[in-house]
Amino acid sequence: MSKGAETPVIKVLTLFPEMVRTVLETSIPGRAAKQDLVRYEVVDIRDFSVDKHRTVDDTAYGGGAGMIMMVPPVVEAVESVRKRDDATVILTTPQGATFDEVMTLDLLDDLQLKGELILICGHYKGIDERARELVVTREVSIGDYVLSGGELPALVIADALVRRIEGVLHNEDSAGNDSFTLARGGGLDCQWYTKPPEYRGLKVPDVLLSGHHGNIEKWRSDQAASRTRNRRPDLADPDEGIGSDT
């Protein structure tokens, strides 16, 4: 974040604000907020309900199982926090594009450029389609499965973005060399070791204790490529062929 720029804000709209706040106040997301590298706004969608009972869902027109989140609370919650007309408003949904490293960097650029990113946590069977049409600009899925609500996916997205903000991690190279990153060619990371050098008969590979940085980097690169070929062949470089771990 450039000097003098406003702190970017991730805004999460949810029916379970305490669940979201607890995670965002913990570990790296919490540390980033304390350092003023990012801010969070957690909004209770029920505050925009249409009656005194704080109702936010109803049965589906046309029948069918499951309850649907009503359009007024969702739309009005978004409008209450959106500062820019072109703000990105994400709905977490199994029907969205799959979240990955490329999207992480894209959304990070968007957050830093516009200063805000809005995440809507769906619940029940889903949200009224008109909410999608009126305020949602992007739909994102974290995988081909269904959860009870959109809070966990929203937190996954927020965490992935925050840890890539400059200054959040003590060592910037750590995030840049994780699995799936461009530095890894989109592949998996290698295995890592720390003290003690031997535990229950299992020893740290000799090369890592050698002090020869060139050999260490080559070993790590080879191991990362081998692990990618064996565990995620869809991510492997086709020119390298298929190998096995040794």
Q: How far is CA 221 from CA 186, 195, 209, 228, in A?
A: 13, 21, 16, 11
Ordered by start, the domain boundaries in the chain are: 9-162, 183-240
Pick the CATH number of 9-162 from 3.40.30.10, 3.40.50.980, 3.40.1280.10, 3.30.428.10: 3.40.1280.10
Q: What is the pLDDT of residue 244?
A: 41
- What is the reported pLDDT for 183? 57
Q: Which residue has the tokens 């191991």?
A: 223
The share of the chain scoring above pLDDT 90, in percent, equals: 81
User: In this structure, which amino acid lies at residue 230?
Assistant: N
Contacting residues for 147 by C-beta, under 8 A, at least 6 apart:
153
pLDDT score of 75 more than 60 = yes
- How does pLDDT run across 59-74, given as a tens digit for each residue? 999 998 999 999 999 9
| 177 compared with 198, residue with greater pLDDT | 198
Per-residue confidence at 3, pLDDT binned at 50, 70, 90?
low
Calculate what percentage of the chain has a pLDDT beyond 70.
89
- pLDDT over threshold 70, residue 184: no
pLDDT at 237 exceeding the cut of 90 = no
Check residue 238 and give its pLDDT.
73
**Domain 183-240 = CATH 2.40.30.170:** no
Kindly indicate the confidence band of residue 200, based on its pLDDT and cuts at 50, 70 and 90.
very high
pLDDT score for 186: 77
Q: Which two tokens stand for residue 40?
A: 């969070």
Q: What is the pLDDT of residues 26-68, one digit of tens each?
A: 999 999 999 999 999 999 999 999 888 899 999 999 998 999 9
pLDDT above 80 for 22? yes
Q: Is the pLDDT of residue 234 over 50?
A: yes
Answer yes or no: same fold for 9-162 and 183-240.
no
The pair of structure tokens assigned to 192 is: 């890592």
What is the overall mean pLDDT for the chain? 91
Separation of alpha carbons 218 and 123, rounded Å: 47
